[in-house]
Structure 1
Amino acid sequence: MVMAQFNIPRELYDRLSQDMNERLQQISAMARQSAQRNDWATVHRCADEILKHDAESAEGFFLMGLVEKAAQHPLKAVEAFEKVLELDAERYDAAIELSSQYVTSLRYEEATRLIARYKSYLNNSPRYLDMAATNYTSMSLSAEAWPLYKKANELQPNIGLFQANLAACAVFLGKIEEAREIYESLLKQNPNHQRNHYQYSRLETATDSGHIDQMKRVLDASKQQPSQNIFMYYALGKELEDLLRWDEAFDYYKSAGDAVTSVSNYNIETDTGLIEKIIDTCTRQWMSTDPNSKPTEVTGKSPVFILGLPRTGTTLTERILSSHSKVSSIGETQFVEVVLRRESGVESIEKMNLDMIEAVAKKDIWLVANGYLNMVDYMLEDTPMFIDKLPYNFLYIGFIAKAFPDARIICLRRNPMDTCFSMYKQAFTWAYKFSYSLSDLGTYYIAYSRLFDHWKAMLGERLIEINYESLVTDQEQQTRGLLNKVGLDFEEACINFDENTAASMTASSVQVREKVHSRSVERWREFETQLAPLRTQLDAAGIRVD
């Protein structure tokens, strides 16, 4: 003991210890105040100071975890927060921060276990209730998020972020009226909040110009750059289109797309080059070698992959199928791409690149299958089939088909012009970077069309092709045909999919609560003049738009 080693009187030792503890508490308080100001340099210095005096300080490692989180170093943040829990298992703040980093790293099963373990600790912490709920939402677990968001708002009812998160979750769960009330309250509190205007505009079809006029006043008074007005542009475009004011609507859609493009630093050749690499790599010869003959570790569940370009009816098809008693949905996961990247062994911050495709194509495909099934296992319900619906999995159809010989693969197809325009007017925050420029959209669609033809030639009837226009104009017949191809008997619930209460976290989360309609069929013709260059581009590539 220090006291015995230096012959320090106990009274003096206790006083020195108390002084040091008070000093460390002051440093901790300073760090937390600095964190609120995003002054991470000061937080870092405080963490270092605490750990210098106490190398096993849970608080010191917690502050260091916050620093690494702010610096977007998830691996280092995970290490720090895990150390906190090793030192003090009661630190629920570290547990929820750690779960957030697990989500960032797509370690969803570990994140869900951690939140479940610490949920009961959060009853008096609105901040960490909200964070835990947001982690659930990020993992497509809106139903689990809802009570946590509700509790956070009960504890602190006037926090705009908490209210907005609750409203967004309400939309995912089909609680549209509740979401409307929250957004109306938020906009009364802060009429200038553009993201809330955008979310509010999506809740229903506009019938008058009241909200449009309000948004225009906000926009006119704004001194922000166009890139900071993107959500307002999309909201105005949407409501003006609702009122059939086509030209005005397009002008706002174009303003939004141009604003995104101006700050995105995007090159279309990155995406088209990836498609060409996939076509060159995933050949018939590749498909026929090393078939997945090894048993997978998760058995008894048959995957159904629903994919295609966004806004082509993937969510509608998912809702129809998941309304069947033998089918459940795990929503939109990125697990196919995650496992392909991981098994490639290529280290890169890019989501997917040419080297990864080349490398993973040479790996044992059963590793991909087992890796995927192990990742989704925690999400599976007690049904024979489960749906993974992520539009851009169309890139990986060959890998999916090879890894899962018995999987159903459903690709949605829609009129090219309607497809492109529906993407153009959607804020994807900011996925599908090719969708914010009509020229890039045309270029990408041409490449996508080549890829689809490639998969169709390789897989034939195994690739189930669903036409959006046929589905919305002849719902029952098309639904019966789809169920037959998937190997399911007809159930009336598949026709009444709008009664399905399951969460939907896609751009169509509001529309899926409605009956099937054909309002969007041939909608592009209302904008034919503005879309003429896109049509010319597709025509020149031999893609029929009529």
Structure 2
Amino acid sequence: MRNVQKRNHTGRRYVFICGLHRSGTSLLGRNIARMENCTGFKDTGVIEDEGQFLQDVYPTAMTYGGAGRFGFDSRAHLTETSVLFTPANAARLRKSWHAYWDNSKTIFVEKTPGNLLKTRFLQAVFPDSYFIVIRRHPVAVSMANQRWKVSLTPLHNLFDHWLHCHALFEEDKKYLKHLYELSYEDYVRDPDKYHEEIAAFIGTRVPESSMEQVTGQYNERYFNRWSDLWNNSGFTGYYGFIAVKYEPKFMNYGYSLTKGFDINEERLREGERISATAGALYRLLADAYALMVRLTTRSKGYIRKQLRTHLPGPLKVRIQRLLQ
């Protein structure tokens, strides 16, 4: 966690929650919006009440491939030098979001994962802005993203995306006036501590009640899955290769792909012995498998949609009864 350049809190403030998909941004954003004199988006009818879907100034992350992919498109990275930063667009974005905030408050909270790559742009549009960036273990983030089969992405690509986005942010944060960083792991371990620190950072107080419960059980699920894939899957060479390849890079952020997991030592040594050529082949196989899953999932979805659209009502009812 790091605080950067606090100042006196006067007038309206804008608080942006940033972090990759499945990093805990939704939970953190909802709890910050519950703090005194804060307002966030609620019951808007859009996905996760995210601000990206309540404006038309910049494209959503889905335009650039969605979770686990959007950061690879350079257009997703916005700064104060972007062609989208104009007086007209700034006014339009403020108007769009204030239509959904409670304007009787003075602290306005917005959460969108893609904010991680838009901090400098948002600071230019909202000069009185505060950025809260949450980072989560890459195994948990990546495996959580793999639950969306319609856009299934291999782990090595998800690891690359995690590193790419955080590297961009590391450069951008040098320009931010008000920044608070924390890890998901620290947050779920002691939420009360971080709620108090964040409240002080943005100039408010934590209410005595109404904060959403925080639990750390979800990381454990993904960590167990990672260990199981290493030890028992038919593709252990792939997992060993990517673990060894990415370990030094993630260690720079304080995360390990090998330490703290129930991993057979022999599996780890096997991963260290895999050549670059064999590793590249493993990556190609993982890419091919992910593509097959995506195509199968989308085909099933298309067929279901066509059946719902074209089948007569009585036949739909009959099929539903057979499936029950």
Do these two structures clear the TM 0.5 threshold for a shared fold by scoring above it?
yes
Deviation at 1:485, TM superposition (A): 0.9
Report the Cα distance in structure 2 between the residues aligned to 1:313 and 1:334, rounded to whole angstroms: 17
| Unpaired stretches in structure 1, ≥5 consecutive residues | 1-299, 343-348, 499-514
Residues 333, 389 of structure 1: 8 Å contact kept: yes
RMSD: 3.1
Q: For 2:180, what is the secondary structure of its paired residue?
A: strand
Corresponding residue for 2:162? Answer: 445
Mapped pair 1:497 → 2:211: yes
Tell me which amino acid in the other structure corresponds to 1:400: L
Residues 17, 133 of structure 2: 8 Å contact kept: yes
Residues 340, 368 of structure 1: 8 Å contact kept: no
Tell me which amino acid in the other structure corresponds to 1:436: T
Corresponding residue for 1:187? Answer: none
Identity across the alignment (%): 21
Corresponding residue for 1:372? Answer: 93
Report the Cα distance in structure 2 between the residues aligned to 1:375 and 1:360, rounded to whole angstroms: 22
Deviation at 1:322, TM superposition (A): 1.6
Corresponding residue for 1:313? Answer: 24
**Which of residues 140, 147, 150 is equivalent to 1:418?**
140
Residues 306, 387 of structure 1: 8 Å contact kept: yes
Mapped pair 1:398 → 2:109: no
Corresponding residue for 1:463? Answer: 179
Report the Cα distance in structure 1 between the residues aligned to 2:80 and 2:194, rounded to whole angstroms: 39
Report the Cα distance in structure 2 between the residues aligned to 1:421 and 1:337, rounded to whole angstroms: 30
Report the Cα distance in structure 2 between the residues aligned to 1:341 and 1:518, rounded to whole angstroms: 33
Residues 15, 108 of structure 2: 8 Å contact kept: yes
Corresponding residue for 2:299? Answer: none
| Unpaired stretches in structure 2, ≥5 consecutive residues | 1-10, 42-48, 231-235, 257-324
Residues 116, 133 of structure 2: 8 Å contact kept: yes
Tell me which amino acid in the other structure corresponds to 1:340: Y
Matches for 1:244-283 after TM superposition, within 5 Å: none
Mapped pair 1:338 → 2:74: no
Tell me which amino acid in the other structure corresponds to 1:303: Y
Corresponding residue for 2:39? Answer: 328
| Residues 497/326 of structure 1: CA separation in 2 closer, same or farther (3 Å cut) | same
Report the Cα distance in structure 2 between the residues aligned to 1:535 and 1:340, rounded to whole angstroms: 36
Higher helix share: 1
Q: For 1:541, what is the secondary structure of its paired residue?
A: helix
Corresponding residue for 2:310? Answer: none
Residues 322, 387 of structure 1: 8 Å contact kept: yes
Deviation at 1:414, TM superposition (A): 1.2
Tell me which amino acid in the other structure corresponds to 2:255: V
Corresponding residue for 1:521? Answer: 219
| Residues 532/457 of structure 1: CA separation in 2 closer, same or farther (3 Å cut) | farther
| Residues 534/386 of structure 1: CA separation in 2 closer, same or farther (3 Å cut) | farther
Report the Cα distance in structure 2 between the residues aligned to 1:350 and 1:301, rounded to whole angstroms: 32
Residues 139, 222 of structure 2: 8 Å contact kept: yes
1:168-217 residue CA offsets vs partner (Å, 9 max, x unmatched)? xxxxxxxxxxxxxxxxxxxxxxxxxxxxxxxxxxxxxxxxxxxxxxxxxx
| Residues 485/321 of structure 1: CA separation in 2 closer, same or farther (3 Å cut) | same
Larger radius of gyration: 1
Report the Cα distance in structure 2 between the residues aligned to 1:341 and 1:310, rounded to whole angstroms: 16
Corresponding residue for 2:193? Answer: 477
Residues 14, 129 of structure 2: 8 Å contact kept: yes
Tell me which amino acid in the other structure corresponds to 1:411: V
Deviation at 1:457, TM superposition (A): 2.8
Deviation at 1:532, TM superposition (A): 3.8
1:9-64 residue CA offsets vs partner (Å, 9 max, x unmatched)? xxxxxxxxxxxxxxxxxxxxxxxxxxxxxxxxxxxxxxxxxxxxxxxxxxxxxxxx
Mapped pair 1:487 → 2:195: no
Matches for 1:84-233 after TM superposition, within 5 Å: none
Q: TM-score, normalised by structure 1?
A: 0.36
Report the Cα distance in structure 2 between the residues aligned to 1:394 and 1:480, rounded to whole angstroms: 23
Residues 480, 490 of structure 1: 8 Å contact kept: yes
**Which of residues 444, 450, 454 is equivalent to 2:171?**
454
Report the Cα distance in structure 2 between the residues aligned to 1:307 and 1:400, rounded to whole angstroms: 11
Residues 36, 206 of structure 2: 8 Å contact kept: no
